[in-house]
Amino acid sequence: DQQVKQNSPSLSVQEGRISILNCDYTNSMFDYFLWYKKYPAEGPTFLISISSIKDKNEDGRFTVFLNKSAKHLSLHIVPSQPGDSAVYFCAASAVTGTSYGKLTFGQGTILTVHP
Amino acid sequence: KAGVTQTPRYLIKTRGQQVTLSCSPISGHRSVSWYQQTPGQGLQFLFEYFSETQRNKGNFPGRFSGRQFSNSRSEMNVSTLELGDSALYLCASSLQGANYGYTFGSGTRLTVV
């Protein structure tokens, strides 16, 4: 079963505009959420995270929003830059239960930022 | 501060052989996890080690095994290789576990022919 879902396989945005990447989860035990960026033939690079006790976390151009009741989180990138073009993965973890010690990843969204 | 180092970067093996992949975590990180990335299945959790103990294991057959040494370095082994084992194998390290965020290595690209 896919506990973390990124329903948009791809997203295309103009440079300078906002990019919004979405992620849904089903496991109520998840209490920590992360976004990673990945280039081909490289490992994922950590971008930003959020604990389930918060609903928003900002770091420069990146903001993550968490809606626990909807089991939904989103990553906003403002303004988008061509260098942001990559695959973005949403991931979730839980302190306890069968998810302990591991990240569960979504399938990824390919972001393309056009100059 | 050195990142997570995985060796080798690329590997070609024949069906039926076995393979050992190595991972050196960031200094001070005690949790090491392994993931398999394939086009069809995405990033899938293999196992996680903390202080030489396996704390969690994903849904992979027993041909996939791992271990962690006292210096936190980790190895994973795949025996009796199958064509479907061709993938990018990623190692990640963290101070204590997933809720502290993981730093990933660049991966080992395994091709089984």
Per-residue pLDDT, averaged over A101-115, amounts to 93
pLDDT at B11: 96
How far does A36 lie from chain B, in Å, by closest CA?
10
pLDDT at A99: 60
Which residue in A4, A49, A103, A104 has the most chain B C-beta atoms within 10 A of its own C-beta, making it the best mutation to test that interface? A103
Bridge-partner residues for B112, per DSSP?
B13
Average pLDDT of chain A is 93
- Indicate whether A100 pLDDT > 70: no
Low-confidence ranges of chain B (pLDDT < 70): 1, 98-99
pLDDT at B66: 97
- Indicate whether A47 pLDDT > 90: yes
| CA-based nearest residue to B30, from B102, B101, B94 | B94
Chains A–B, number of C-beta pairs less than 8 Å apart: 69
**B68 reaches A (C-beta below 8 A):** no
A52-96 pLDDT tens trace: 999 999 999 999 999 999 999 999 999 999 999 999 999 998 876
CB contact under 8 A, B45 and A103: yes
**B4 reaches A (C-beta below 8 A):** yes
pLDDT at A41: 78
Contacts of B23 in chain A (CB under 8 A): none
**B79 reaches A (C-beta below 8 A):** no
pLDDT at B43: 92
Contacts of B88 in chain A (CB under 8 A): 41
CA separation for the pair A90, B110 (Å, rounded):
25
Burial per residue of B9-48, b for 16 or more beta-carbon CB atoms within 10 angstroms, e otherwise? eeeebeeeeebebebbbbeebbbbbbbbbeeeebbbbbbb
Burial of A90 (0-12, 13-18, 19+ CB in 10 A): buried
B53-79 pLDDT tens trace: 998 899 999 999 999 999 999 999 999
